[in-house]
Structure 1
Amino acid sequence: MRIAVFGTGGAGGYFGAQLAIAGEDVVFIARGDHLRAIKSTGLRLETPSGETAIRATATDQPAEIGHVDAVLVGVKAWQVAAAASAIRPLVGPDTVVVPLQNGVEAAGELAAVLGPATLGGLCGTLSFVAGPGHIRSVGGQNYIKFGERDNQPTERVRRLRDCFAHAKISVEVPADIAKALWDKFLMVTSFGGVGAITRAPIGVTRAVPETRRLLEQCVQEAMAVAKARGIPMAETTVSDTMKFYDGLPTNGTTSLQRDIVDGKMSELDYWNGAVVRLGREAAVPTPTNEFIYDCLLPHELRARGKIEFS
């Protein structure tokens, strides 16, 4: 398949690299020093099992590429709406567009511009940009899930699933993609929010009783919001999520935590902020997520140049 990775960050870079290694025709869309490094020496993928350099086409001009079979959208959540318009030249009559963002709103934003080409999608990977042209994965479970937004089985979804399976990437087409999105959403927002305010990796936050309680409270709140919005969440969701945390590498952190610590713009409004906002819409209280959001907001506003710290 011909696959465009729009936004070669941790998620897009990791999955795109694995697909390229498996022989798929992958085009990376990046910018700045990251793009220049990929064009010059290739994309370097570092995992616990070793390093691989991938030679692949890279550009910052999607119109140069033409139609592709699939687009993996790896930009930050606040960039999705703008990315949708830039993705237009890549989308033909048979193209599928798969959002990889941590959130529950990206598919709707893409579909508003790109229509039925858009699938529901999510992924899991503890990967990040370690430097120009360099993606580092610290291990743990790497997976991708996608499906038609109405959950109907289609040939285009089957074909894309087979492509990922051939690349030995854990891939699933969930029976209910909205439920799968919320399962991931409540996991990552709790993990990310608690990690960002404590500045500690998951090995610490899950082991200290007080922060473990915060994790569980965040998960419970997000689950309540999901159920109020008609998402068929399993009754074991909270305990299953805590077990998942217990299996993560001790040094695991989220992109939200890393961005906040580094003084960068983050997806705060689309993670804990979204739990609070969607909770208000459904008349569900979310005090723990609201506390986390309120505490982190000054750092987010400073990163966006809206306030200064004296």
Structure 2
Amino acid sequence: MKVAVMGAGAVGCYYGGMLARAGHDVVLIARPPHVQSIHRDGLRMETRSFDEHVRLAASAEAGAVQGAHLILFCVKSTDTESAGVQMRPHLPADALVLCLQNGVDNADRLRAVLPQHAVAAAVVYVATEIAGPGHVRHHGRGELVIEPARSGSFSSQAVARALIAAGVPTEVSGNVRGALWAKLILNCAYNAVSAIAQLPYGKTVQGEGVKDVMRDVVAECLAVAQAEGVQVPGDAVAAVDTLAGSMPSQFSSTAQDLARGKHSEIDYLNGLVVRRGEALGIATPANRVLWALVKLMESKHAQA
């Protein structure tokens, strides 16, 4: 299988690297410093079970998606439409585009700019970071939940089989919308708090009153999801309570973005809950405060 990873940051490098280790033809589309390092040394994958350099192709150009059967679409939510437009002229007609992104509406937004292509949403449960150019560090988990989709003879089921064979636990589910909301709730509870404190999950939850704030965030998210007719699987409160224990050393992606002076995806996390709540007449004060504080920190970095 030929695979292109559009936006090969921490998430894209991990899954692209796992597929390359399993023998698939993978190209990572990333920023020039990463591309140069990967050309020279391969992709260093530092995981809980192995630490090795994986040889695979890399490019800084969206045109590298040409000829790929599968596109792992891993750009930030802020860049969904623009990245989709960049790769559209080069995208094979029978390619399947799999959105490995935070938030709940990226696949719909991508379909709007790629109306002739098969696009499937996926829920990502992995703790990773870019530790340096060409170096991805894996802190835990790694499973995927994929929406059913088909492009010609290529399907989500075929992708799932390839991922499972590569060591990535993968499920195809008819309720990916609900699973996306379940992941959104985790992100809303943890991302902003980790970013504001610049602390990993394990230390974040030890802060006085933090667990109560997280429970307020979860309650608001569930109220908005219910009003939208979304069936959120599992116990969201329990999932939030146990996440820090499963990846105590992980900084949220929002924390990593702010630490690097970059804009985060907060508008598509707590900000999305605030906007949907306003439209539905549901108060979301806890989400609003976290969203506003992260936006304030972003503006401070921008001025600096």
The verdict on a shared fold, with TM-score over 0.5 as the criterion, is yes
- Could you tell me how far apart the structure 2 residues matched to 1:64 and 1:96 are? 15
Residue in structure 2 matched with residue 52 of structure 1 by the alignment: 52
Residue equivalent to 1:276: 274
Unmatched 5+ stretches in structure 2:
none
User: Secondary structure at the residue paired with 2:144?
Assistant: strand
Amino acid aligned to 2:246 = L
Preserved CA contact (<8 Å) 1:263 1:299:
no
1:68–1:90 CA contact under 8 A, matched in 2? no
CA deviation string 1:229-284 (max 9, x = no partner): 110124x5333323432532221221101222332221111111111112112221
Q: 1:239 aligned to 2:237? A: yes
CA RMSD of aligned residues (A): 2.0
CA–CA distance in structure 1, aligned partners of residues 83 and 219 of structure 2: 32
Spell out the pairing of 1:105-254 with structure 2 (5 A cutoff).
Answer: 105-115=105-115, 116-138=117-139, 140-148=140-148, 156-208=155-207, 210-234=209-233, 237-254=235-252
> How far apart in 2 are the matches of 1:203 and 1:54?
30
* Structure 1 residue 58 displacement after superposition: 1.0
Tell me by how many angstroms 1:120 deviates: 1.3
Map 1:48-127 → 2, pairs under 5 A = 48-115=48-115, 116-127=117-128
- Offset at 1:209? 5.1
Whether the 8 Å CA contact 1:268–1:300 is kept in 2: the answer is no
Q: Counterpart of 2:10?
A: 10
Q: Which runs of 5+ in 1 are unaligned?
A: none
Q: What amino acid does structure 2 have at the position aligned with 1:282?
A: L
Give the TM-score normalised by the residue count of structure 2: 0.92
CA distances 1:161-218 after superposition (whole Å, capped 9, x unpaired): 1110110101111231111110111111211022122332211233345111111111
Cα distance change of structure 1 residues 131 and 18 upon mapping to structure 2, 3 Å threshold: same
Report the equivalent of 1:287: 285
Say whether the 8 Å CA contact 2:120–2:146 is kept in structure 1.
Answer: yes
> In structure 2, how many angstroms separate the alpha carbons of the residues matched to 1:7 and 1:17?
13
Tell me the TM-score normalized by structure 1: 0.91
For the 8 Å contact 1:161–1:172, the answer to whether it is kept is: yes
Q: 2: CA distance between counterparts of 1:243 and 1:171?
A: 24
The percentage of counterpart residues that share the same residue type is 31
Equivalent position amino acid for 1:157 in 2: S
